[in-house]
Amino acid sequence: MSQPSPPEPRPPSRFAPGTPARFLVVDRQETVGAAMAAVLRRIVPCEVELRARLTAPDVHRDVDLLIVSYDELSLVERSLLTVYVRREKRGQLVIRSNGACRMDFPLLLEQHVLTNYVTEVSQRRVHEFGVTIQKLLGSEQSGVEPYFPVVRDRLSRQVASSVEIQAVLEEARAFVESKEVREWLAPRFVDVVDELLTNALYNAPVDPAGKPLWSTRARNVPITLPEQARVDVQLVSDGRRLGVSVTDPYGSLTREALLGHLAKRFRQGGNTLAARTEDGRGLGLITCLRSLTHLIVNLDRGRRTEMIGIVDSGISIKQHRQAGTWFNTFQSEREP
Amino acid sequence: MPKLKWQLQPQADETRVVFSGDLIEGPNLDELVTQIHSNVVFDLAEVGRVSSSGVRQWIQMMNALTAAGHHIAFDRCSPAIVSQFNMVAQFRGAAEIRSILAPYYCQDCNKEHPRQIVPGPNAATELEEKLPCPSCGTNMEFDELVESFLGFRSHDARA
């Protein structure tokens, strides 16, 4: 019997000048924990406490954010994370891992423990990490722009019908190929744009009662969004990374559905320790996770869903796989 | 790349189907099913992008060919196809995989070059070997994680 879903983590109101945020960092390696603390202090005024182990009293403490290096945790410490996300004092949780914990992903996703996942916070990714922390602390930042303080090139399109998809994908390919990117990247990035855009056009639209309009329709059957609805597509490049955001005006995707989808795919991954689908359902999400270095989902129930993808454009496929994919979900606090 | 196309090449005891283009929404694979009346080998070297809607149509085609009793083999599978083996269990179905194209990268030329290998027991060892670039002779490395690229074989073992 499935457990009831934990409450949605409420962003703490600590992201305000002069009010230091409270962080708890758990890492067996003192130097790694100290490096993380230094990064956090550069991002936001904060008090950081470092721990080598996670204890039962820790998960009841009033902290805004708990960052744990998951791979080294004992089974008892891992189980405490469920207590942390279900407690009354709601704080955010970031799981750091090099991927060794993927066996646990399905359960962590189902229990809403895994809503924010990062791998190594290298120098190249400090800015993305900073935006992530700010958003977790309640800073309302939407779009791909916060992740790209410098934008060298941009492409914006508004899409109302599925017959426009091919044209947008051709533009996306030309956009990528005009940059200095490795050969493997162009088709992968176009795959991501395709999956996000197709999903926004076919799966996101709902009627006023919340019933999906076309989620079961074959993707070769054209659809046109009703009235003035448009899906917004943004592509950006800063010369080192490529970004895409696809925003639908429905906000029908829930965190529960998203995490449930992912949990199912990781279960099907079996002994490859990777997300996998038996029959192709949910493949779009897996494609995005495999092709991107960072997938961000901004959920604003009843208003819009924003899927953001970032990929490092100058690295090999092997480096891309080794870097791992960060995954973040942010839930707006506004009432639907 | 254009949408998926194919060419039929009848051979002594099987039909070779050479695909090219992107496996995305739209190819009429039902039509291909009606053209196949024997065991079949799919040459997949020139297949580029594969979208999730293309995958769904592909799976339907595989199911239809399997139901018709044809033996199916995949040959020269492009990296995009191998990626699908690792993500979608039914993409390959019961097909025999004769060879795959492994991506190698030459840093000097900034070019990728595929290497054809048989995904047998020695595949992982073969992939660790460096290869001379066909253009400049510089040593090239396999540009994927071996375990991840050959992940589909562990599903074979599990089955």
pLDDT by residue (tens digit) across B100-114?
Answer: 999 999 988 888 899
CA nearest neighbour of B27 among B50, B4, B61, B59: B4
Kindly determine whether residue B155 and residue A272, on different chains, have CB atoms separated by under 8 Å.
yes
Would you say residue B59 has pLDDT above 80? yes
pLDDT confidence tier of residue A336, bands split at 50, 70 and 90:
low
Structure confidence at residue A131 (pLDDT): 95
Tell which wins on pLDDT, A318 or A8. A318
Q: What is the mean pLDDT of residues A28-45?
A: 93
DSSP H helical ranges for chain B: 29-35, 52-67, 79-87, 89-92, 123-128, 146-149, 151-158
pLDDT confidence tier of residue A321, bands split at 50, 70 and 90:
confident
Residue A131 DSSP label: H
Kindly determine whether residue A198 and residue B148, on different chains, have CB atoms separated by under 8 Å.
no
Would you say residue A12 has pLDDT above 60? no
Q: Report the mean per-residue pLDDT for chain A.
A: 88
Taking each helix axis from N to C end, the angle separating A185-202 and A283-291, rounded to the nearest 10 degrees, works out to: 150
Of B144, B151, B154, the CB nearest to A317: B144
Kindly determine whether residue A287 and residue B154, on different chains, have CB atoms separated by under 8 Å.
no
Kindly determine whether residue A198 and residue B59, on different chains, have CB atoms separated by under 8 Å.
no
pTM above 0.95, yes or no: no
**Which residues on chain A are in Cβ contact (under 8 Å) with B25?**
198, 219-220
Kindly determine whether residue B111 and residue A290, on different chains, have CB atoms separated by under 8 Å.
no
Kindly determine whether residue B88 and residue A277, on different chains, have CB atoms separated by under 8 Å.
yes
**Which residues on chain B are in Cβ contact (under 8 Å) with A283?**
52, 55, 87-88
Q: What is the pLDDT of residues A47-84, one digit of tens each?
A: 999 999 999 999 988 899 999 999 999 999 999 999 99
**Chain A interface with B: residues with Cβ < 8 Å:** 182-184, 187, 190-191, 194-195, 198, 218-220, 268, 270-272, 274-280, 283-284, 286-287, 290, 316-318, 321-322
Q: What is the pLDDT of residues B19-28, one digit of tens each?
A: 999 998 776 8
Kindly determine whether residue B87 and residue A272, on different chains, have CB atoms separated by under 8 Å.
no
Kindly determine whether residue A283 and residue B48, on different chains, have CB atoms separated by under 8 Å.
no
Torsion, CA B73, CA B55, CA A261, CA A257, rounded to 10? -170
Kindly determine whether residue B56 and residue A277, on different chains, have CB atoms separated by under 8 Å.
no
**Do the interacting molecules here have an ipTM over 0.90?**
no
- The answer for residues whose C-beta is within 8 angstroms of residue B39's C-beta and 6 or more apart is B13, B14, B15, B70, B71, B72, B73
Strand segments, DSSP code E, in chain A are 21-26, 46-51, 65-69, 92-96, 116-118, 153-159, 231-237, 241-248, 294-300, 304-312, 326-331
Determine which of A150-159, A163-172, A327-336, B129-138 has the lowest per-residue pLDDT on average.
A327-336
Q: What is the mean pLDDT of residues A177-191?
A: 91
Q: What is the mean pLDDT of residues A121-139?
A: 92
Contacts made by residues B89-92, CB under 8 angstroms, sequence distance 24+: B89/A268, B89/A276, B89/A277, B89/A278, B89/A279, B89/B155, B90/A278, B90/A279, B90/A280, B90/B59, B90/B62, B90/B63, B91/A280, B91/B55, B91/B58, B91/B59, B91/B62, B92/B62, B92/B152
Of B50, B87, B112, the CB nearest to A184: B112
Kindly determine whether residue A184 and residue B83, on different chains, have CB atoms separated by under 8 Å.
no
Structure confidence at residue B158 (pLDDT): 45
**Which residues on chain A are in Cβ contact (under 8 Å) with B103?**
184, 317
Return the structure tokens found at A31. Answer: 């130097």
Would you say residue A215 has pLDDT above 90? no
A108 to chain B, minimum CA–CA distance in Å? 21
Residues in chain A: 336
Structure confidence at residue B89 (pLDDT): 81
Q: What is the mean pLDDT of residues A176-199?
A: 92
Question: Biggest alpha carbon distance in chain A?
Answer: 57
Kindly determine whether residue A321 and residue B145, on different chains, have CB atoms separated by under 8 Å.
yes
B62 to chain A, minimum CA–CA distance in Å? 12
**Which residues on chain A are in Cβ contact (under 8 Å) with B56?**
219, 280
**Which residues on chain A are in Cβ contact (under 8 Å) with B86?**
272, 274, 276
Structure confidence at residue A91 (pLDDT): 81
pLDDT confidence tier of residue A19, bands split at 50, 70 and 90:
confident
Q: Closest chain B residue to A181 measured between Cα atoms?
A: B110
Structure confidence at residue A269 (pLDDT): 67
Q: Closest chain B residue to A217 measured between Cα atoms?
A: B53
Would you say residue A273 has pLDDT above 60? no
The 10 Å Cβ neighbour count of residue A249 is 16
pLDDT confidence tier of residue B127, bands split at 50, 70 and 90:
very high
Return the structure tokens found at B43. Answer: 């040459």
Distance separating alpha carbons of residues A177 and A107, to the nearest angstrom: 39
Q: What is the pLDDT of residues A303-313, one digit of tens each?
A: 999 999 999 99
Distance separating alpha carbons of residues A304 and A28, to the nearest angstrom: 40
**How many A×B Cβ pairs under 8 Å?**
98
Kindly determine whether residue A272 and residue B144, on different chains, have CB atoms separated by under 8 Å.
no
Contact residues, B window 30-69, toward A, CB-based 8 Å cutoff:
48-53, 55-56, 59
Percentage of chain A modeled with pLDDT above 70: 90
A106 neighbors A65 (Cβ within 8 angstroms): no
Kindly determine whether residue B51 and residue A191, on different chains, have CB atoms separated by under 8 Å.
yes
Q: What is the mean pLDDT of residues A217-242?
A: 92
Would you say residue A162 has pLDDT above 90? yes
Strand A304-312 versus strand A294-300 pairing type: antiparallel
Q: DSSP for A238-302? A: -SSEEEEEEEESS----HHHHHHHHHHHHHHTGGG-S--BSSSTTHHHHHHHHH-SEEEEEEETT
